[in-house]
A and B are shown apart, each in its own frame.
Chain A
Amino acid sequence: MQNAISGLGLAPDAAMVTFPIGLFLPGSDIAPVEARKREFYDGLTRWTPSVAGGAGGASRVIAVPGATFEDALVNANHAMLANQWGDGLPLWPPTRVRVDWILQGTPRPRAHALGTFPPRGGVATVETCAIALAMAGGRPEYLPVLVAAVEAFLDPESGSEQLQAASGSAFPVVIVNGPIGRQIRLNSGFGCLGPDPQHPAGASIGRALRLLQQNVGGARPGVGTMANYGGLRYTNVVFAEDEDNLPAGWPSHGTERHGFAPGQSSISLVFANGATNIRRRGAKKETPAEDALQGMHRMADFMRVPNLAGLAGYERGAPGILMIPGVVAQTMTGLGWTKRSMREFLWEHSRIPAEQLRRAGGYAWIEIDASQVARESAALDPWPITASPDNFVLIVAGGGHPTNSYWLQGYSPGVVGREIRVPEGFGRLLAEAERDLGG
């Protein structure tokens, strides 16, 4: 709650009367409200904030001693955890040398403010991004992607103001298009959502974004974020679309959803809160057409669940991100499928019969949704999980193997795109990466 208060530009404190969660559950004994009524009365009459205001100016510098460098490194990691700035994994201390090195990756001044991170309201600057990227083991050539992702994250259209603190365990998914993906070693193929020493960029960028969410935005579990589970939050999800394997006639995601010119490096940010593998390929003597159709049904069936995650972006967000390997996209294109026809199939076949929605209590959630379009959708039977087929994010990515596809369950009021801006001399940074990491 203090995060939310400071996020409004007030001193980070509030007159609050807090109770254990049991009081807020159906059928609870609410007698404690009367027992503690004086605290409510004092909140209206006598309360004063215990914090006068926040610190201003440049980032504060911490000094940590040690008998040796290794000792100081250990102590620095301890200090970062003690201050609740870490994520439990080892961190690079964001020294001035390391932060200045990373700042070579942007054409913008280090003090340039990108906005305030909800709910706490900490100011995100280019320097703050570089600090987070330094902690996360990043490199300068990753910074343009992180800065673009932060800009998109802070766009009100993304929904981050609510999702940062909400219980639904939302995590940002950053989809990268354009040449920068290959240039900075972002994964678009085998294992693109996981660790990969050949493609280390996604983990560092996503981890840095998460550290910003936590440290600048105040989203600490159980305090600033009430996410029940918080899955995929160590590194969020950052990957590139496999543009080399897009079928002929398929626009890239950045071009199709955001209108970026082909070849423009860009990011697209979507919130998700679930991830699952879907076995897509047939197992016996299916014809190619049968194999494709069965796979489409299996994917649509998986989306047809009444847990209402997609309500968050019903009108113009995304019910989820469907990832299919390039080999599958190319095969299906050869069979006459198009990106549009796949979306329309998924939209039609993921609709939920009213009876299933009713027995799961789904209508109560639809009726209280902020979107009029979503509320009016309650009249539709079967109920479409999103307002339009266009809302499905369909991405070509993943290893060149036809068996599986992947569904990132959407929880995203909007899908926000940003162009990526690189500094002059970016080629030198890429050459240095090749020197450091191998060709």
Chain B
Amino acid sequence: MSTLLQIDGLRTVFDTSEGEAVAVDGLELSIAQGETVGIVGESGCGKSVTALSVMRLIQSPPGRIAAGRILFEGRDLLALNEKQMRSVRGNEIAMVFQEPMTSLNPVFPVGAQVGEALRIHRGLGRAEAEREAVRMLKLVEIPEAAARARDYPHQLSGGMRQRVMIAMALSCEPKLLIADEPTTALDVTIQAQVLDLLGALKERIGMAVMLITHDLGVVAEQAERVIVMYAGRVVEEGPVDRVLASPVHPYTRGLLASQPALGQEHGELKTIPGMVPRLTELPAGCRFRDRCDRAEPRCSSTDPALTDCGPAHRAACIVTTEEES
């Protein structure tokens, strides 16, 4: 499998009244063709900002991509001009957002919105685009697709709207789909349906998926590889089975330990003490050390880099990776 997306040293910052907030700091990430990579981490760790950075949708001001390269099929997206970037968006890389309620334009029928990308990127006329849109809606298993295409977003349920979003993103058969918490706003039963749909479509089109979520269960089911982020950095990455079964980084261990097991009846839920550091006041050295139960004095002076700790498995912790080897 060849590399589709390669992110090197991405640094995205936001200028706030309290100083510069570094949302993504020196991120390294790669996704191969057809691969599904899950990105997990708690709110504010930089997952969404990473996604928006790849799409170059960071609102500037106050944000900006300060450094790094984002190589997509060998081309550095950050070096493209706006016109070239626009032909990538919605066409080669597409994105599905978290809130289906507010992510669709309330004054246009859904069919028109699904077909819009086709009209720009494939030059289809209005009637043709409408037909294609109906076909896409059928693909995402929306019943009575032709009638639904003329409906407005407010007439559809949350699950249906998310399917519409997926149809919209997939309309030009992108090579990479970025799904930012696609099921977080949905009911659990609908979640499962939408995830299954995503899996099936991914197979059909052969596209890679960057699946962003805070739900480890979703990652376990859908992803082949997982990347764990904390405070703007990757702290662990590897094959999903390995990372979830034998996590190396103390943060990942903490995340997994805090998940209540099925059948667990009493006892306190384990938590990770402390809070995520403020992005404007990031500490030197390892950013997790204040909350880490394995922290040593050298953790505050050295910036841990991602080190091998198994086949295709890396973690950014000096202490635990030493143990593994």
A and B interact physically: no
User: A residues engaging B (CB < 8 A)?
Assistant: none
On B, residues with C-beta under 8 Å from A are none
